[in-house]
Chains A and B, each alone.
Chain A
Amino acid sequence: MSAETHEGVHRHPAPTSFIRKYIFSVDHKIIGIQYIMLALAAVAVGMTMSLLMRLNLSWPGTHWPILETLFPTGAPGGVMTPEFYLSLVTMHGTIMVFFVLTTAPQGGFGNYFLPIQIGAEDMAFPVLNMLSFWVTLVGFIVILLAIFVEGNQSLGQAFAAIGPSFTGGSGTVGPIGGWTGYAPLSALGKIAGPGQGAGMNLWVISIAIFCVGSLLGALNFITTLLNMRTKGMSLMRMPLTCWAWFTTAVLALLSFPVLLGGGILLLLDRIAGTSFFIPSGLYVSGLLSGTNPNFPLHTGGSPILWQHLFWFFGHPEVYIAILPGMGATSHILSTFARKPVFGYRAMVFAIFAIGLLGFFVWGHHMFISGMSPYSAIAFSVLTLSIGVPSAVKTFNWIGTLWGARIRFTTAMLFALGFVSLFVAGGITGLILGQSSLDLAMHDTYIVTAHFHLVMGVASIFGMFAALYFWFPKMFGRFMNESIGRIHFWLTFIGVYTIFVPMHIMGIVGMPRRYSSFAEYEFLKTLHPLVLLVSVAAVITISAQLLFYFNVFWSIFKGKKAGDNPWEATTLEWTTATPPPHDNFAGVLPTVYHGPYEFAVPGAPKDYVMQTDAGADVPSGDGHNGHKH
């Protein structure tokens, strides 16, 4: 399995029909763009939902005309019902985590750039690659269907024809169990609450489909990276983005099947009367288990089992969401600092450590779940140790900036923003990872603040940075830098204003997933912070309109870009803009140097491309010279 590839030149006639070129394309570049477009659509849906949630929390009881028109049952008189709010919470989380954070960073940018950065013509199995996108898209359609089946009376009632557990039309926009779908709430069906009928079934089915799509994608990444690197592209000469995509694919490969297994069991509990997660003797909505056709007899199930299965997947999932962003940040920081990445080897090890340790800490979501308190201790100590590789990465990012000559392009701003926000979000893991402190902090807004900062902001900044950076290569035109700058400042300041106060809310005791805080005296002092967060959210979400405009306008009207506008070193910048169908016009590159040879003393320019045969680069960590 050496870098010397078995692959020869791949030539077949480029497709001519619109359908083969842009719709059912097997070209990894088109597939990458398709994933990015999917994520852009999904994030718009997710952001709208969060906006509605903030409006409800800050100005409760307000009559919103648009809600009244669109959701007369879920928001009668334009005022949100509690179940409508919870369905927003559930769908927001599900759509964002799966269809935004698990698509664009990996399936989007990874698909587009992994093959090019390693010098391959395409992924190992292009048809499989195409399948992975379309399966994922079907999953997205199914989750959108959940919105309509629950939101629309007639559609909901029509669905009931499939089976009793498929009743919809509750007026919500989907199930109400949160993206984590804890059983038995998620397993009992419609007797447990509105939205828990058809909406919940479709949710499980959508996620199961998504699991399959992700697995198909992961296969390609691993095989391609291991087997299709071009001549000279040893593993330690790969850009850090490739390491990140590789590790993410391995995490996905090993964690999604567990979610799929859990999802199958949950679906069976719901539609086939099994009892994996439902114990005996329950009394729900006035019905005793086994005494009513609406509530068949259950026995032997374990609600905690669902949590174990879900979080065994769920924890690696959050690293799947952030690792590509870390890779992109390292890559972009180095490029615009005009300096090699500080500690490339340490960065690779840190990526592995994060990936590996990520499989052993899932219990920190379950400290007070009723599981063994001894395992809580083990999970807690392991969780704190996973902070170490993350800290090492942060030190290395700052080290990359030391002695640099920083060029503040928009991509660089977002990469710097990533570092700032990742620290802010990650550092509170020290609090939440301790079992003792979790006694007070579980299910409060400090958890919400933590995961939004790392996933909902840092990871997104990684994607923004990647898009501003690679846009010229993908579309042959720059995104507008002035609009980009405004986008950056509004978003950067906005997200801090939204999520830092949430830590305080959590300390005071604001619980998660409450549709209203009016019931409790101890929460009333928080109202000014709640308002501040919502105002910031409105501004920040509005600022994203600038981003959307910039993306779509620039595709057609942006300033034209050459092959290597950023003076970068890796293989994607050696080929045409945009790259031809087989990436390298029939002539695969040969690699002579590592990926981040900037500021090489004595070199004619302040960067040496990986393919520059004539350049003499001192061996830094032993992998940039002529050996290897």
Chain B
Amino acid sequence: MGRVLAVIIWIITLLSVLLFVAGKWWFPEAISEHAPALDRQFLITIVVVGISFTAAQVGLGWMVWKYRDTGSSSDRATYSHGSNRLEVLWTVITAVVFISLGVMGQSVWASLRLHDAPAGSYSVEVVAQQFQWNFHYAGKDGKFGRTDPKFIDDGSLNFIGIDATDTAGADDAVTSALAIPVNRPVELRLRSKDVIHNFWVPQLRFKQDLVPGMEIKVHFTANKVGKYELACAELCGQLHFKMKSYMLVLPEEEIQQLQAMPQEQFQAKMAVLLAKYPLPTYQ
């Protein structure tokens, strides 16, 4: 029984590791500036995880194989209450490895979250609701029109409550898809109308909750042109799985073009662009 258990544990370990290293299923391609650092930290971590996992399972299997009671000898087990030296040794080693990982794991976070978006960022206001995304662009004047919940009327398509009397908002556009420039820091100002949602594009390696009652500012830089799926990643109701949109990463000229367009033209152009850029291929 001990040998069977050991073998089965080892087979499970082997298959699990193979599943990871086979590479058939992995992160999608990375398209943001911080993504390579994040992927690298993930790789380091998963290697530590893999080694620890394998070592523990191999050790466990080895023990149950070697020290199974074969019933033959009348020898007893080794009488040992432990070893203080070993305790200190493995506690210290584990602590060093884990805490080092922990400290290393803060650098990408710190680079993204501890300071505001750099000057010259492209700002987009994101207002999430059950169950769609609304992206608010500042238009040619670069100023966001005033919004107020009391102006919201889904029926008449004023999803984010634009104040019609505010002139700064005259050139603004609100669409359901996100368009951002490539190779330029993007600032998202995240808000929500009703419940908590979460902005997520897998290729971006980036997530943030949108919390009602708060305006949360985050930033990142995308460095590959294309169209990417955007999903909600915080349970927001029954159609949470369908709260889908797209993120278009566009060359600077196309963004400038878009920025100059008012609402109707903006939306029409977005439709054209969404059709123009294909989704990445997934294996």
- Chain A contacts to B: CB under 8 angstroms: 81-83, 86, 176-178, 182-185, 188, 192-194, 278-286, 288-289, 301-304, 337-346, 367-370, 373-374, 376-377, 380-381, 383-385, 387-388, 391-392, 394-396, 398-399, 401-408, 413, 416, 419-420, 423-424, 427-428, 430-431, 433-440, 442-444, 489, 492-493, 496, 500-501, 503-505, 507-509, 511-517, 519-522, 524-526, 529, 598-601, 606, 618, 620-621
Contact = CB atoms under 8 A, between A and B. Distances in A.
Contacts of B200: 443, 511
A278 B192 CA distance: 12
Interface in B162-200: 193-196, 198, 200
A427 B27 CA distance: 20
B33 interface: no
Contacts of B80: 339-340, 342, 403
A395 B208 CA distance: 37
B217 to A, nearest CB: 10
B142 interface: no
B105 interface: yes
Given A440-B205, A529-B25, A283 B149 contact: yes
A369 B213 CA distance: 13
A286 B164 CA distance: 20
Given A388-B95, A500-B19, A620-B82, 7 more contacts: A86-B240, A285-B194, A303-B196, A367-B109, A391-B90, A512-B235, A514-B240
A370 B218 CA distance: 10
Contacts of A501: 19
A439 B207 contact: yes
A404 B82 contact: no
A343 B196 contact: no
Contact of A288 (B152, B236, B280, B282): B152
A381 B87 CA distance: 22
B149 A508 contact: no
A394 B113 CA distance: 35
Interface stretch (B61-69, B254-262, B269-277): B61-69
B99 interface: yes
Contacts of A606: 76-77
A184 B19 contact: no
Given A185-B237, A406-B64, A440-B207, A380 B105 contact: yes
A359 to B, nearest CB: 18
Contacts of A517: 241
A621 B82 contact: yes
Given A385-B95, A436-B105, A520-B244, A376 B113 contact: yes
Contacts of A440: 27, 38, 42, 202, 205-207
B119 interface: no
A279 B212 contact: yes
Contacts of A192: 130, 194-195, 237
Given A368-B208, A385-B102, A524-B282, A394 B56 contact: yes
A373 B217 CA distance: 12
Given A496-B12, A522-B202, A304 B211 contact: yes
Interface string B21-55: 00001111000000001100110011011001100
A282 B149 contact: yes
Contacts of B56: 394, 398, 419-420, 423, 427
A431 B42 contact: yes
B265 interface: no
A301 B67 contact: no
Contacts of A369: 209, 211
Contacts of A618: 79
Contact of B63 (A344, A398, A512, A620): A398
B206 A303 contact: no
A385 B64 CA distance: 29
A399 B208 CA distance: 43
Q: Which 5 A/B pairs are nearest by Cβ-Cβ distance? A: A279-B213, A434-B105, A403-B78, A384-B102, A620-B81
Given A283-B194, A522-B202, A522-B229, A377 B106 contact: yes
A253 B154 CA distance: 47
Contact of B109 (A285, A383, A439): A439
A392 B94 contact: yes
Contact of B237 (A176, A288, A522): A176
B207 A443 contact: yes
Max chain A C-beta neighbours (<10 A), residue from B63, B83, B130:
B63
B195 A188 contact: yes
A286 B5 contact: no
Contact of A496 (B16, B59, B76): B16
A130 B128 CA distance: 49
Contact of B234 (A182, A419, A436, A492): A182
Interface string B129-172: 11000000000000000001110101100000100000000000
A516 B240 CA distance: 10
28 contacts: A83-B238, A176-B235, A185-B195, A283-B161, A304-B211, A338-B77, A339-B77, A343-B86, A370-B208, A385-B99, A394-B56, A396-B82, A403-B78, A420-B9, A420-B12, A431-B49, A435-B109, A436-B109, A437-B41, A440-B27, A443-B207, A493-B8, A493-B12, A514-B241, A515-B240, A520-B229, A525-B25, A599-B77
Contacts of A377: 106, 109-110
A194 B130 CA distance: 13
Contact of B19 (A394, A396, A504, A621): A504
B106 A380 contact: yes
Nearest to B91: A392
Contact of B48 (A182, A184, A430, A519): A430
Contacts of B108: 436, 439
Contacts of A516: 241-242
